[in-house]
Amino acid sequence: MGQKIHPVGFRLGITHEHQSRWFAVPDRYPELLQEDYKLRQYIEQKLGRQAQNNAGISEVRIERKADQIDLEVRTARPGVVVGRGGQGIESLRTGLQGVLGGNRQIRINVVEVQRVDADAYLIAEYIAQQLERRVSFRRVVRQSIQRAQRAGVQGIKIQVSGRLNGAEIARTEWTREGRVPLHTLRADIDYSYCTAKTVYGILGIKVWVFKGEIIPGQEPDPLPPVSRDRERDPRDRDREPRRRQQQRRRQQFEDRSNEG
């Protein structure tokens, strides 16, 4: 069976950037790498899916400048992270300083995710939350794909593995809509993995999102604006209701009868 490389790691330096951007001497590299892990774990515990106030954290980027640590927190709910009057930021900074120890200078920049339904991690997190509430996986996957298509993605693939709907034998099912070219390096592929802890066991969710191709020297095409009518399929706007179509056809038939 062919094995698949991580889509994001495969494109580092081409269409994706490293989440940690810093240099260190070989002796300090393990220490700083462990600090990055602790920072991300603390943010996930305080603002992640298992926290009381889920802020929808998509990504945490870390940069280091001498004794200063710059954190860029990409979130779907920036108001939860910032808090009233900036109290959330100060509380988060104090907690991170306690994790690292010492009087470290930490600067936090909160960035809002513009397309929540086009972010692979947020999609996987949403599916995991619904599966933990015992919602049918087919229904959740179908809703997630429809929302991603309305957000303007060119392709999406979702895979769910485990004891689906409490089945005795674990299996893997996946659904794909549009194009997901994993072998094209210039393809902007967003990938994420999440687990759902259910009463029947752990379910694994994998999400691939194809947002378009990035050609060197050209700016990526922006995603189309999202309609306010999120629950309605945009293709239905050009379709007439069935009753109106029947009335129009009946009127045409009566007009032809009167002409005869």
Which of 247, 159, 243 has its CA nearest to residue 205? 159
**190 located within any domain:** yes
130 and 211, same structural domain? yes
pLDDT at 232: 46
107 and 138, same structural domain? no
Domains in the chain, number: 2
99 and 136, same structural domain? no
Which phi and psi angles does 145 have, rounded to 5°?
-65, -40
State the pLDDT confidence band at 55, using cuts at 50, 70 and 90: confident
| C-alpha to C-alpha distance for 245 and 197, rounded to whole angstroms | 48
44 and 138, same structural domain? no
- Show the domain range for 28: 7-112
104 and 46, same structural domain? yes
DSSP 164: G
**73 located within any domain:** yes
Between these two residues, 223 and 194, which has the higher pLDDT value?
194
136 and 52, same structural domain? no
**201 located within any domain:** yes
* Distances in whole angstroms, Cα of residue 21 to Cα of each of 16, 109, 210, 252: 12, 15, 25, 68
149 and 122, same structural domain? yes
CATH number at residue 82: 3.30.300.20
* 8 A C-beta contact, residue 187 and residue 200: no
pLDDT at 228 over 50: no
pLDDT at 251 over 60: no
65 and 29, same structural domain? yes
* Distances in whole angstroms, Cα of residue 132 to Cα of each of 49, 127, 224: 12, 9, 32
**18 located within any domain:** yes
49 and 144, same structural domain? no
CATH number at residue 184: 3.30.1140.32
179 and 133, same structural domain? yes
Q: Quick one: what percent of the chain has pLDDT higher than 90?
A: 58
157 and 107, same structural domain? no
| C-alpha to C-alpha distance for 189 and 8, rounded to whole angstroms | 7
pLDDT at 78 over 60: yes
End-of-domain residue from the set 94, 112, 130: 112
Top mean-pLDDT range of 53-57, 150-154, 226-230 = 150-154
pLDDT at 161 over 90: yes
End-of-domain residue from the set 86, 112, 138: 112
129 and 40, same structural domain? no
Taking residues 26-41, report their average pLDDT.
93
pLDDT at 257: 46
pLDDT at 133: 92
Between these two residues, 3 and 168, which has the higher pLDDT value?
168
Burial class (CB within 10 angstroms; exposed 0-12, middle 13-18, buried 19+) of 93: middle
pLDDT at 214: 84
Taking residues 145-156, report their average pLDDT.
93
Which of 180, 135, 185, 184 has its CA nearest to residue 158? 180
The rounded mean pLDDT for the chain is 84
State the pLDDT confidence band at 102, using cuts at 50, 70 and 90: confident
Taking residues 47-67, report their average pLDDT.
87
Enumerate the H helices of 48-157 as residue ranges: 78-82, 87-100, 120-132, 137-150
End-of-domain residue from the set 93, 112, 131: 112
Between these two residues, 150 and 255, which has the higher pLDDT value?
150
**244 located within any domain:** no
**177 located within any domain:** yes
Residue showing tokens 């603390």: 42
**2 located within any domain:** no
Q: Which residues contact 40 (CB under 8 A, 6 or more apart)?
A: 60
pLDDT at 127: 95
**16 located within any domain:** yes
Q: Classify residue 194 as left (phi > 0), alpha (psi -120 to 50) or beta.
A: beta
Taking residues 119-143, report their average pLDDT.
93
